[in-house]
Amino acid sequence: MKNLTRIAFFVILFACFLMPAQAQNFPKLDNSPADIAYLRENRNTPPVAKIIYSRPQKKGREIFGKLEAYGKVWRVGANEATEIRFYKDVTIGGKAVKAGTYSVYAIPFEDKWTMILNTDIDVWGAYNYKQEKDVARFDVPVGKLEKEQESLAIIFTEPANGESKMIIGWDMTKVEIPIKF
């Protein structure tokens, strides 16, 4: 019985080495790669917020008013809806928001964006957006960038006195969203 077990073991081992290695077909880089930005009081403190989003490219297209229609709910990015996690209670855009994870949507207009935080997470785009799941809505003015931003970007400004701004920029457009924590 021991010999049979040994023979079986070596046959299996030998077969494993003779089997051709299967090539891995990893997908090419996404056209709108994912990115993350953190808000921290300083480098050595736990985060206040983390935003995960996909970065669509301009590629010569007219963005706001065309690709992203004015007056229509947008996922603030590409692919899955952008998500923000607050590790503590904050005030964003003047609205009190409890610690937790939320999807981030916007309704862009030429002069302002209506920003939306929604409890429906892990969703693709804004196709199934449900207004009844909103936890906060507020307007922010639209500003102009000095230089064209080819891919959507979201950053947090350096915090001071428990305040920061989340800045969203794409094409020649930017919005600044105040956050207090």
Within a domain: residue 81?
yes
Within a domain: residue 21?
no
Within a domain: residue 22?
no
pLDDT in tens, 79-117: 999 999 999 999 999 999 999 999 999 999 999 999 999
Within a domain: residue 16?
no
pLDDT in tens, 10-62: 445 455 454 455 668 998 888 999 999 999 999 899 999 999 999 999 999 99
Question: Rounded to an integer, what distance in angstroms lies between the CA atom of residue 106 and that of residue 169?
Answer: 13
Within a domain: residue 36?
yes
Within a domain: residue 12?
no
pLDDT in tens, 129-169: 999 999 999 999 999 999 999 999 999 999 999 999 999 99
Within a domain: residue 98?
yes
Say if residue 7's pLDDT is above 60.
no
pLDDT recorded at residue 24 = 83
Within a domain: residue 109?
yes
Taking a C-beta distance cutoff of 8 angstroms, is the pair 39, 177 a contact?
no
pTM of the model: 0.85
What six digits make up the tokens of 161?
A: 């006195």
Nearest CA to 85 out of 19, 156, 143, 152 is that of 156
Taking a C-beta distance cutoff of 8 angstroms, is the pair 80, 122 a contact?
yes
Name the residue range of residue 83's domain. 28-180
Count how many domains the chain has: 1
pLDDT recorded at residue 13 = 46
